[in-house]
Amino acid sequence: METLLTIGEVARRSGIRTSALRYYEELGLLPATVRVQGGHRRYDPDVFQRLAILRLGKKAGLTLAELRRLVAEFPANASAAERWQALVPQKLQEVEALLEQLQQTRQRLQRLLSCECQRLEECASHGEV
């Protein structure tokens, strides 16, 4: 049987603060831990795989609520592909909309760079920048 790990050991090895590990457990992102005498948490070494999935999801822009859906709200037999397919299309639409907003902001800023007005009040007459 593999040795269970303390929260401090998991934090050190994963680079995630102990408070974040507790919070992830509270949200259901991590499975409930084994409690030993004194109520101290002990983690199965498999926790690192779950933390890697959470890190991947966070890097992809998923929120904590979306990550919870990914790891906790699907039937136990749902495949990884089914889980990603349920979450990623909506997130991708959100990212596309954000990119469009950023592109519009970039264009406005570029127009402001070409402004030759002498006074700020004149710039307001340019309308939509």
Residue 32 C-beta-side C-alpha neighbours within 13 Å:
4
Residue 34 has phi, psi (to 5 degrees) of -75, 135
Query: pLDDT tens digit string along 68-117?
Result: 999 988 888 999 999 999 999 999 999 999 999 999 999 888 888 888 88
SS3 percent helix, strand, coil of the chain, rounded to 5, is 65, 5, 30
Full-model pTM: 0.77
Residue environment code for 76-100, b if the CB has 16+ CB neighbours within 10 A, otherwise e: eeeeeeebeeebbeebeeeeeeeee
Q: What is the pLDDT of residue 1?
A: 52
For 95, the 3-state DSSP assignment is helix
- Domain spans of the chain? 1-61, 74-129
- Does the structure show a pLDDT above 90 at 122? no
Sorting pLDDT into bands at 50, 70 and 90, what band is 126?
Answer: low
Q: What is the pLDDT of residue 120?
A: 85
Query: pLDDT tens digit string along 56-67?
Result: 999 999 999 999
The amino acid present at 22, given as its one-letter code, is R
1-61 CATH: 1.10.1660.10
